[in-house]
Amino acid sequence: MPERDPQARINDWQDLYDPLDEKELQVQAARCMDCAVPFCQTGQTFDRSVVGCPVNNLIPEWNDLVYRGQWKEALNRLHATNNFPEFTGRACPAPCEGSCVASLYESPVTIKSLERAIVDRGFEEGWIVPEPPRVRTGKSVAVVGSGPAGLACAAQLNKAGHRVTVFERDDRIGGLLTYGIPKTKIAQDVVDRRVKLLQEEGIQFVTGVEIGRGKEFEELRSQFDAVVLCIGATKPRDLPALGRGLTGVHYAMDFLHRNTKSLLDSGHADGKFISAEGLDVIVIGGGDTATDCVSTAMRHRCRSLVQFDIHGRKPDSRGSDNPWPLWPVVHKLDSGQEEAEAVFGDDPRLFAVSAMEFLDDGQGNVKAVRCVQLREEKDESGRWIREEIPGTEQIWPAQLVLLAIGFRGPEADWLEQTDVQLDGRTNVNAPNYATNMPGVFAAGDARRGQSLIVWAIREGREAAEVCDQYLRRKN
């Protein structure tokens, strides 16, 4: 889908994209070939890179149905593997497109746009309606966390006939769908309409309840036949540089969460958010969360913006070590960088740069960041190592610094007070989704670590299947 003009879209919090009309969508669907092996839907991992769609979307099938004008049938095939195509059609980076055969000779089919168009039309036409289970099993399940993994798990368990209650610590359902991804990518009414549908199918949602603070884990286990932990991996990775404690240095998710809550609560009228207005902003990190920080700061009307990326600039085309159908590791401008470039004239990113020190203005506030350039070299064992390049230090002005350098596992200290085993990365240790405690399961980022929305949905669906098998064996 074509993106709206960057200069225009930074004036609002509306959708990034302009819709494609039906004829354009059918032209794209017509480009989908009858591949002998449709890599787009394989969902396999090779050399730590995903090939195709992790939820195994039946992409050639629903593309052909769209081409033939059979939209309702296309929706049925889409929902066969994906509970929430309206989420993935907006916020997934589309590994399917990286593995599209058409990209070998031209460009990939716009699979993500077609996915979104199918489900949006389904809602518009009234084809998507509540489908509560006909029979209840008498078993009950508590799902902790209402992000994409928790919602997918709850949806599947409810379809199996179990009574499902979803517990969410925030005041709104959706987890990172609501408070972690800017509304320019997923509007809140898109989240809310699906939640409403799940409620009408019989799922109960409880907000403002955090396990370990107000409701104990063992209490939850005693009240339900099974518990599924879908609590995410939102504990932020810190940057222990000099001056880290200065005012004005924030974790990215604090910045994004408070911005979205204030936006939804009052349209920012309450002022209960971290504002970048009129400030020199530095975003440290090179992933999607960093891009979301850039987009948000641009809408706040920051004075300047620089993004530090510890990695070197990616090549403009695939390298020999990154063949198709692996995800293409190539240089590109994401939406946030496009917006910064449109306003300030250049890509805001500095590559192969590391922050060394946050400088004090004398009153406990950050005023600048000292950084140094890096070079990457292989050591004797063949591992890549980074070294600082002498004489390349620079100082960049900054009154707001946002740390978007990843996550270190679930943000739930209460887990350490239970018998649930964690792995070496502090994620929940749950091979095949079952933990060491009977009746306790885990899925999503809490189990596999920080990952994509589409992986969260797959994990939720698979954990629900394992949990369902356990419940049907239980007396």
Q: CB–CB of 92/58 below 8 Å? A: no
CB atoms within 10 A of CB 357: 16
**pLDDT beyond 90 at 233:** yes
Q: Of the residues 362, 381, 403, which one is the last residue of a structural domain?
A: 403
241, part of any domain: no
Is there a single domain that holds both residue 267 and residue 379?
yes
Among residues 188, 190, 224, 186, the alpha carbon closest in space to that of 206 is found at: 224
Is there a single domain that holds both residue 22 and residue 153?
no
CATH number reported for the structural domain that contains residue 34 in this entry: 1.10.1060.10
Percent over 90 (pLDDT), the chain = 87
Is there a single domain that holds both residue 15 and residue 55?
yes
CB atoms within 10 A of CB 51: 22
Is there a single domain that holds both residue 273 and residue 290?
yes
244, part of any domain: no
Q: Of the residues 125, 159, 177, which one is the last residue of a structural domain?
A: 125
pLDDT in tens, 1-24: 889 999 999 999 999 999 899 999
Strand pairing category for 366-378 and 394-397 = antiparallel
- Locate tokens 């994990």: which residue? 459
Among residues 245, 240, 277, 271, the alpha carbon closest in space to that of 258 is found at: 271
pLDDT in tens, 133-191: 999 999 999 999 999 999 999 999 999 999 999 999 999 999 999 999 999 999 999 99
Q: Give the pLDDT band of residue 380 (cuts 50, 70, 90).
A: confident
204, part of any domain: yes
Q: pLDDT at position 412, please? A: 76
Q: Of the residues 65, 95, 125, which one is the last residue of a structural domain?
A: 125
**pLDDT beyond 80 at 34:** no
Q: pLDDT at position 223, please? A: 96
- Number of structural domains (the chain) is 3
Q: Is the peptide bond before 95 cis (omega within 30 degrees of 0)?
A: no
Percent over 70 (pLDDT), the chain = 100
Is there a single domain that holds both residue 264 and residue 384?
yes
The mean per-residue pLDDT over the stretch 438-453 comes to: 95
Q: pLDDT at position 382, please? A: 77
Q: Please enumerate in sequence order all residues whose Cβ is within 8 A of that of 462, keeping only pairs 6 or more positions apart, or say none.
A: 433, 443
Q: pLDDT at position 271, please? A: 97
**Rg from Cα positions in the chain:** 23
Q: Give the pLDDT band of residue 30 (cuts 50, 70, 90).
A: very high
Is there a single domain that holds both residue 53 and residue 104?
yes
Q: pLDDT at position 321, please? A: 86
Q: pLDDT at position 245, please? A: 97
Burial class (CB within 10 angstroms; exposed 0-12, middle 13-18, buried 19+) of 212: middle
Is there a single domain that holds both residue 314 and residue 329?
yes
Q: pLDDT at position 71, please? A: 98
Is there a single domain that holds both residue 109 and residue 21?
yes
What pTM value is reported for the model?
0.95
Is there a single domain that holds both residue 388 and residue 413?
no
CATH number reported for the structural domain that contains residue 395 in this entry: 3.50.50.60
Q: Please enumerate in sequence order all residues whose Cβ is within 8 A of that of 153, keeping only pairs 6 or more positions apart, or say none.
A: 143, 228, 230, 443, 459, 460, 461, 463, 464, 467
Q: pLDDT at position 455, please? A: 95
The mean per-residue pLDDT over the stretch 446-464 comes to: 96
1, part of any domain: no
243, part of any domain: no
Q: pLDDT at position 45, please? A: 79
Work out the mean pLDDT of the chain and round it to a whole number: 95
User: What does the H/E/C string look like for the chain?
Assistant: CCECCHHHHCCCCCCCECCCCHHHHHHHHHCCCCCCCCHHHCCEEECCEEECCCCCCCHHHHHHHHHCCCHHHHHHHHHCCCCCHHHHHHHCCCHHHHCCHHHHCCCCCCHHHHHHHHHHHHHHHCCCCCCCCCCCCCCEEEEECCCHHHHHHHHHHHHCCCEEEEEECCCCCCCHHHHCCCCCCCCHHHHHHHHHHHHHCCCEEEECCEECEEECHHHHHHHCCEEEECCCCCCECCCCCECCCCECEEEHHHHHHHHHHHHHHHCCCCCCCCCCCCCEEEEECCCHHHHHHHHHHHHCCCCEEEEEECCCCCCCCCCCCCCCCCCCCCCCCCHHHHHHHHHHCCCCEEECEEEEEEEECCCCEEEEEEEEEEEEEECCCCCEEEEECCCCCEEEECCEEEECCCECCCCCHHHHHCCCCECCCCCECCHHHECCCCCEEECCHHHHCCCCHHHHHHHHHHHHHHHHHHHHHCC
Q: Give the pLDDT band of residue 291 (cuts 50, 70, 90).
A: very high
Q: Which domain holds residue 325?
A: 249-403
Is there a single domain that holds both residue 364 and residue 257?
yes
Is there a single domain that holds both residue 262 and residue 398?
yes
Is there a single domain that holds both residue 335 and residue 438?
no
146, part of any domain: yes
213, part of any domain: yes
133, part of any domain: no
